[in-house]
């Protein structure tokens, strides 16, 4: 490093000297140009132009030398020699034998690379498990129990394989069956190497289970630990006997909950936290004394949003359908309005002046919510936003894929709620302390999982719909290879 500093210091001083002298040279050029124009001497103008070009080429050459020196000190590569060799190759004439050897070597390399990648992909997806998924974007008609759903038999460095004990159906799963996020899913499946194709696509966003295997880089989790977690909408779902997910999407399960109760919280909890609190801490009581309206307090995310708003010190008003009043009234809210989701406009002129309005239904009611707010009020939502890319045609899809292949090299897109271990651990603390309780409408056995998603599609479900897995011994088929 000391040699690098010396080279950089000398180079900077040299450049400063050239740069300062260039100011003097430019003033001299201006004076001489004015004098020559008065004399009207063409030869002198040509001479002045040649001298100016020569001097600035010297500066350019020095800058290049400084750059090469810096690269050579850092990487140990002789840049000048490398450029000379490349220039020699480009100037050389290719003979027929050379060209044939080059093409043959390139072809063999590509073929070997393809075969190795194909073999690795075959090894990676050796586990076959049962899952509830969709085989086409055709709504509930495309949902079916799959007996041979492919799951990676060996996790990567920072991944874990979880044997799922319970998972739940989220409203976004119903939208996924109709093609929600299809373009992003096609793109990110290839980037995350989740498989050759999207279908079959497993459903379910929340899960609770036991770690069956961890990657070599995982330090905070161990095999056999009871965990919970969630997956984003573009990833494979959790309604499967085994799932392989990044370790940051997994946290330790609350000790006071069984797997059935734990499977009702993670994904909806992340949505609720971002909608009501954002990045603020609950201990700061950010909503103390403020009026909050939760539209859809009986939805999976609405039940948790209401409880968070109460803990944050807000005066909470909720809207729920008539069949959910008895359950939601136990959440210690200040005021309850019984109505269907489409009747929110009836509150205009009756109760207004809310500081925060949260919509927990999948339908967008932002215009009505804004009318119920104060001038400086805030409107939020726990649902997944509509994606314009779902309506793209062929040409726009091609542009989309080309653009994001380049843009994804520098940053990842923000696509709705992302699981985060710190937030999962925060929810676990609140549940273990008795401040938050999950709300479950009904639990289905795994062999009847199709009925679970049909039940969840009805508007009379209160809270989460959970699917309980029947435990089977998991065998790592990687040992058979």
Per-residue confidence (pLDDT) for residue 282, from 0 to 100: 64
Token reading at 24: 């003097």
Produce one character per residue of 157-192: b if its CB has 16 or more CB atoms within 10 Å, e if not.
Answer: eebbbbbbbbbbbbbbbbbbbebbbbbbbebbbeee
Say whether pLDDT at 13 is over 80.
Answer: no
Q: What was the pLDDT predicted at 16?
A: 57
Neighbours of 417 (CB within 10 A): 24
pLDDT for position 210? 95
Q: Give the per-residue pLDDT at 411.
A: 59
Q: What is this structure's pTM?
A: 0.70
For residue 11, pLDDT beyond 60: no
Give the tens place of pLDDT for each residue, 126-145.
Answer: 678 899 999 999 989 999 99
How high does pLDDT run on average in the chain? Answer: 79
Please check whether residue 166 is in contact with residue 445, taking contact to mean a CB–CB distance below 8 angstroms: no
Q: Tell me what the mean pLDDT of segment 467-473 comes to.
A: 73
Q: DSSP per residue over 205-264, as a string?
A: SEEEEEEEEE-TT--S--TT-EEEEE--TTS--S-BSEEEEEGGGEEEPPTTS-HHHHTT
How far CA 46 is from CA of 35, 36, 54, in Å, comes to: 14, 11, 12
pLDDT in tens, 269-282: 999 998 888 766 66
Distance CA 261, CA 265 (A): 8
**Would you give the end-to-end CA distance of the chain in angstroms?**
48
Residue 213 confidence (pLDDT): 92
Q: What is the DSSP letter of 371?
A: H
Find the mean pLDDT for residues 433-440: 92
What's the rounded mean pLDDT across residues 425-436? 93
Given a contact cutoff of 8 angstroms between Cβ atoms, the answer to whether 417 and 267 are in contact is yes
CA distance 113 to 118: 8
Please tell me the predicted confidence (pLDDT) of residue 269.
92
Nearest residue to 416 (alpha-carbon basis) of 263, 245, 233: 233
Please tell me the distance from the alpha carbon of residue 340 to that of residue 353, in angstroms, as a whole number: 21
CA distance 142 to 134: 5
pLDDT-derived band of residue 167, with 50, 70 and 90 as boundaries? Answer: very high
In the predicted structure, residue 67 carries a pLDDT above the cut 80: no
Contacting residues for 104 by C-beta, under 8 A, at least 6 apart: none
CA 428, 238, 185 angle in degrees (round to 5)?
115
pLDDT score for 475: 45
* Greatest Cα-to-Cα distance within the chain, rounded to the nearest angstrom: 101
- Which pLDDT score, from 0 to 100, does residue 28 have? 61
Q: Please write the tens of the pLDDT for every residue from 233-288.
A: 988 899 999 999 999 999 999 999 999 999 999 999 999 998 888 766 665 677 88
């Amino acid at each position: 490093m000391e040699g690098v500093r010396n080279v950089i210091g000398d180079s900077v001083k040299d450049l400063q000297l050239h740069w300062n002298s260039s100011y003097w040279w430019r003033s001299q050029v201006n004076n001489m140009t004015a004098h020559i124009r008065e004399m009207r001497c063409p030869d002198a103008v040509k001479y002045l132009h040649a001298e100016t070009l020569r001097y600035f080429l010297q500066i350019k050459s020095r800058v290049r030398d400084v750059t090469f020196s810096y690269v050579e000190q850092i990487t140990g590569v002789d840049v000048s020699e490398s450029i000379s060799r490349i220039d020699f190759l480009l100037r050389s004439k290719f003979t027929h034998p050379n060209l044939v050897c080059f093409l043959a070597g390139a072809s063999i390399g590509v073929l070997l690379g393809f075969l190795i990648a194909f073999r690795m992909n075959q090894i990676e997806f050796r586990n076959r498990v049962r899952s509830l998924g969709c085989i086409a974007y055709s709504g509930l008609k495309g949902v079916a129990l799959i007996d041979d759903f492919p799951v990676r038999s060996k996790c990567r460095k920072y991944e874990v394989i979880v044997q799922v004990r319970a998972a739940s159906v989220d409203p976004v799963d119903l939208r996924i069956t109709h093609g929600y996020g299809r373009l992003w899913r096609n793109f990110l499946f290839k980037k995350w190497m989740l498989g050759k194709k999207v279908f079959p696509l497993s459903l379910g966003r929340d899960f609770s289970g036991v770690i069956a295997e961890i990657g070599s880089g995982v330090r905070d989790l161990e095999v056999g630990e009871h965990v919970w977690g969630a997956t984003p909408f573009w990833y494979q779902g959790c309604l499967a006997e085994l799932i392989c997910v990044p370790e940051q999407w997994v946290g330790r399960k609350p000790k006071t909950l069984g797997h059935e109760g734990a499977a009702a919280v993670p994904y909806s909890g992340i949505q609720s936290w971002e909608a009501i609190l954002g990045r603020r801490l609950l201990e700061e009581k950010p909503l103390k004394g403020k009026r909050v309206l939760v539209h859809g307090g009986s939805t999976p995310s609405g039940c948790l949003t209401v409880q968070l708003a109460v803990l944050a010190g807000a005066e909470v008003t909720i809207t729920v359908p008539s069949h959910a009043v008895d359950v939601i009234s136990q959440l210690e809210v200040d005021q309850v309005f019984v109505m269907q989701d489409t009747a929110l406009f009836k509150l205009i002129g009756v109760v207004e002046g809310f500081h925060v309005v949260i919509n927990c239904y999948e339908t967008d009611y932002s215009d009505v919510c804004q009318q119920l707010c104060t001038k400086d009020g805030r409107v939020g939502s726990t649902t997944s936003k509509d994606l314009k890319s779902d309506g793209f045609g062929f040409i726009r899809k091609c542009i989309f894929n080309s653009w994001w292949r380049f843009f994804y090299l520098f940053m990842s897109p923000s696509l709705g709620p992302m699981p985060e271990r710190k937030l999962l651990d925060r929810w676990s603390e609140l549940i273990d302390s008795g401040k938050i309780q999950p709300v479950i409408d009904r639990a289905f056995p795994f062999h009847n999982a199709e009925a679970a998603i049909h039940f969840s599609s009805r508007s009379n479900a209160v809270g989460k719909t959970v699917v309980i897995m029947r435990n089977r011994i998991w065998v790592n088929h990687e040992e058979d290879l």
